[in-house]
Chain A
């Protein structure tokens, strides 16, 4: 952070990097030359998001029932956008019909093998991935707004 506001002229490339950083977590940093940190962000945010999908399946992205989580997940960029496009194709009608002990049929809004805890953890994974990408975007924006974008130039005080 030793750099000063020498480069205060805004560059369109930096704002393209912000949009790219939203679409592909970490790509904004990579585009502006901070490859090392960009790769860390990319790997960990994608891992977290796909760990959520591995745990809870495509139901981890549950826009109709968990709208607030959906907003958080949308910040993770392309995985959420693609997942929300794929979900209606995979799950046509997310209901199940069971026969109760008294013989009546009951319509459930979750499949019989639905595990609430696992689903919640999965949804949280994807939501937290989105929130982490927001943190990364704020980091990118702070650098750009301060005109300090020279991340590949180490300063002597940062070496330790």
Chain B
């Protein structure tokens, strides 16, 4: 028996509509990264900078972050693979 609360958009807006969202929670990090980088680059660049310059600068910063994360993740995956398969380290 479960006293489940009825779906109210204000309480369970997206998760109730897309229940498997919890498996893709990390995709939410991308819009957050975009917002952080745009605000950060806008603060760093001089006030007279053009919109185009701000967004191009943010885009490059975003690409650098994504590539850096991909390289780190691939490196870690490779490390775990080698350590667990070939070196028999107990890494789970």
Contacts and interface: CB of A to CB of B under 8 A. Distances in A.
Interface of A: 1, 34, 36-37, 40-41, 44-45, 47-48, 51, 53-59, 90-91, 96-99, 111-113, 115-118, 120-122, 124-125, 128-129, 132, 135-136, 139, 151-155, 158-159
Contacts of B49: 158
A45 B39 contact: yes
Contacts of B10: 57-58, 90
A132 B34 CA distance: 12
Most A CB contacts (10 A, CB to CB) among B1, B14, B19 go to B14
Contacts, number: 117
B57 to A, nearest CB: 12
Interface of B: 1-5, 8, 10-16, 19, 21-22, 25, 28-29, 31-32, 35-36, 38-40, 42-43, 46-49, 51, 54
A139 B43 CA distance: 7
A59 B5 CA distance: 14
A48 B29 CA distance: 11
Contacts of A57: 10-13, 15
Contacts of A111: 4-5
A108 B29 CA distance: 28
B23 to A, nearest CB: 8
A38 to B, nearest CB: 10
Contacts of B5: 96, 111, 113
